[in-house]
Amino acid sequence: MAKTNKKQRLGRGLSALLNNDSIQSAKDDGAKEVVGNIIEIPVDAIIANPHQPRTQFDENALNELANSIKQLGVIQPITVRKNKAGKFDLISGERRLRAAKLAGLENIPAYVRLANDREMLEMALVENIQREDLDAIEIALSFQAMIDQLNLTQEQMSERVGKKRSTITNYLRLLKLDPIIQTGIRDGFISMGHGRALINIEDPKIQLEFYEKIIKDHLSVRQTEDLVKKFREGKILEIKPKKKELPEDVKSFENQLKEKFGKKLKISMNDNGKGKITIPFNSLNDLEQLKNLLQ
């Protein structure tokens, strides 16, 4: 770090407490002097959290954070748990830790917590759920992990994370979507709102057809909801891609040709600019007239 606050230095008294294996719980003697302190910890003494709900870290964003850390240091301390091996388990702040390593830091400021494995997992999950940069699927997976690993009900999760139970239910329902659609939400091709609309279609194959149409035709959430509603009511039986409009200059040229060769003339063109001009005729007389026009 560029600057180190004296309060963040690992003094002899605090060092002795941290090396005291009898302090493993917040109820143990001396725990109050450990918990809440910000200390400098060697980055190689920190063990990554195996319960980390976040699975994707943007490389460019990490490099930007690393450059910032080189200039200003780590502004927000990470949170760790002291373990019995004399090292520290990371509870939260993996992105900051990764960036600190990229920046070449040997030490990083950290809050020290004392917690058992269940508390550690819960703290990591709850903190990550509160982050603004998590995508909807990552949040849903975090909620599911709380259910599977902590045996919490949705009501209990609601109390811990400060979100309505209906909100939690909506996130969890996203995990019922086809994996391809879940990936689409994570990568930003469609929104959570699109995903919530697609959940109402039970057939995964048809889900994917709707998903492809949303992307191809740039459908809004409202348009998707209306389309799904019509499908469920039987008003539409299949999903057809919206007809792609020709560029204005091509459409103008098409109108010029129609005036000369007939209204049924048609120009079709793909996204790469390749296409064809179709001039239908109904009889040999029509064909002869076309020949004369082309000469």
238 is catalytic: no
CB 43 within 8 A of CB 74: no
Q: Which of 94, 155, 209, 245 is catalytic?
A: 94
Token pair of 280, please? 């239908």
Q: Produce one character per residue of 254-272: b if its CB has 16 or more CB atoms within 10 Å, e if not.
A: beeeeeebbeebebeeeee
Q: For residues 29 and 222, give the distance between their C-alpha atoms in angstroms, rounded to a whole number.
A: 59
Given a contact cutoff of 8 angstroms between Cβ atoms, the answer to whether 260 and 252 are in contact is no
From the list 186, 178, 194, 257, the residue with the least C-alpha distance to 228 is 194
Residue 228: CB atoms within 10 Å: 21
Q: What is the spatial distance between Cα 85 and Cα 78, in angstroms, rounded to a whole number?
A: 19
Q: Which residues are catalytic?
A: 94
